[in-house]
Structures are given as structure tokens and as C-alpha cells.
Chain A
């Protein structure tokens, strides 16, 4: 069965530093898709970045990047030069079409990031 696990419930960092949020997943297949979303204090859920499992290069978008370690079933989100407005809950999600036979997106439980001035 598919599963996505985020063990870090909350993280606090100082502004302008780099933070890494962990995510591990379980899947039986070699082809799958991994996503990171951000949920702001207002409740809005925003897509940040995606990693396709068949790509060896780590995805990067703006000050977000991924540390994809396929043998460890791990997809970490790295935020460089953090800003106060990066404070939010970050969710990792996986789509494993072969196992689920669908476009179902499975979410982790989220990590609360607090960026302090």
C-alpha cells in the first residue's frame, strides 16, 4: 500500500537560513510522482515543486529544491534563504498510478515551519 510519512511535526529556523524538511514514501513501483505543497495560515494550499521518479536530476524552482534519494524512498524539500513569509505547513504527496490505478494523490501529515526574524 502507498504511504507518505513526514516525521517532523514542526521546525523553527532563523530568517535567511536554509531548512530541509524530510519525507519518505512507500511504493511498489518504479514510476511515480512526488509533490510538495505549502498551506498558508489562511488555509490556502499552494503547489510548490514536483519530482518525477524517472528523473535523476533534483528539481529546483526559485528558492525551493528537492533532495531526491530514490534508493531510500526519500524526497526532502530544501528552502534556501528563508523568509518570514515561508512560515507555513508543508505537505509532501505522492501519485503512484500503477499501484492505485488512478490519479490519486496521497499526502503526508505535514510539517509546520516557523521562520523567526
Chain B
């Protein structure tokens, strides 16, 4: 089956620093998604990427869909304490009929700790 390798596994940074994390896959995806999960909660969608090469921002977050469709990165600028949590990448495929839906393959997650 498909596997996503997400790195780094954890990051300890100072408030105000920028953060970068990435995911690579052994096969291509049609959509790349980035989620954040707080303790005891479900993942919350941060950014969705639909086209190879696409660069999308959501406030201080910026994500890119790799040209090869096998990778994606997420950057967080000027981190703040509430950025703490686990960040997951997820790849989504469509089926042979061209339909697409939320069947996701997840990375292992990046645990982000921000020191004030």
C-alpha cells in the first residue's frame, strides 16, 4: 500500500521562529491535505492542495503541492504558542472513474512544541 513519510517527527522551537515540515510518498496523489490535531480532538483541516505546483496560504501557513505529485511541504511563519499540536499530511486519490473523495493516506505526524 501507499506510505507517506513525514518529517521531522518532532520540533522544539522558540516563539517567533518559522517552521517547515514535509511529506514524501512512494506514489502520486491527486490532492494533498494538511491537518492539525490538538490533544483529545480530531484533526482539523488547515490547507487543501489540488494541483501539482500549487502554492496556497492560510494566514501564517503556506503549503505547496510538489511538481512530481509525490511530495508536499507546510511552512508556519512567526510561530506562536497556540501553534502547538500535531501536524499531519494526507494524500488523497481519486478512483479510476475520475471521482474523488476523502479516502486518505496519512503521514506519521510532526509534533510541534513552541516555547514562549
- A, B from the same assembly: no
